[in-house]
Amino acid sequence: MKEQIKEAVMKVMNEKTGVSFVEFEWELERQEIPYKGTYSLCIPTNPNVMMWSNMSNDYSEAVKELIFDDRQIKPEQAPLMVYLMDGRALSYPLAKKLGYPYKSERWLPVVFNKGSIFEL
C-alpha cells in the first residue's frame, strides 16, 4: 500500500507545483487508495508541530520516505488560505514560528515541491 501511495503522490507532483496534502488525498481518493487513520506527520525537531494529521500509517510513512529517504519532495510553509481554498484544514492553532518550541499541538500548513530538503 505504501508504494501505491508514493506513486500517487508523485503523479500529482509531476503535474504541478505547490501541492497540498488535500491534493494528494484527492488523487488517493480517485485511485481508491485508503489513506485515513490516526497518524500525524510532525516536524522532526518539534513533535508538537504537525504538517498534517488523520493519516494512515502507510500514508504518513510514504510521505516521510519521499521527503527524507527518496529526497524527491520538499515541504515549504504555506498560507492557511491554500487549505481553506482546498476545503480542508486542521483544527489546531497555527504554528507561526518554525523553530519555536511549542508545548501544545500546532499546525504548520505546508505545500510540496519537487526537490530535496538537503540541497541548498
Alpha-carbon distances of 50 from 14, 38, 74, 84, 104, rounded to whole Å: 25, 13, 15, 17, 11
13, exposed or middle or buried, with CB in 10 Å at 0-12, 13-18, 19+? buried
> Rounded to an integer, what distance in angstroms lies between the CA atom of residue 55 and that of residue 61?
9
Residues 95 and 106: beta-carbon distance below 8 Å: yes
> Rounded to an integer, what distance in angstroms lies between the CA atom of residue 37 and that of residue 55?
4
- Full pLDDT tens readout for the chain, 120 residues: 999 999 999 999 999 999 999 999 999 999 999 999 999 999 988 999 999 999 999 999 999 999 999 999 999 999 999 999 999 999 999 998 878 899 999 999 999 999 988 776
Residues 76 and 34: beta-carbon distance below 8 Å: no
Quote the pTM value.
0.93
- Containing 59, the helix (H) or strand (E) segment is helix 57-64
Q: Decide: helix, strand or coil at residue 86.
A: helix
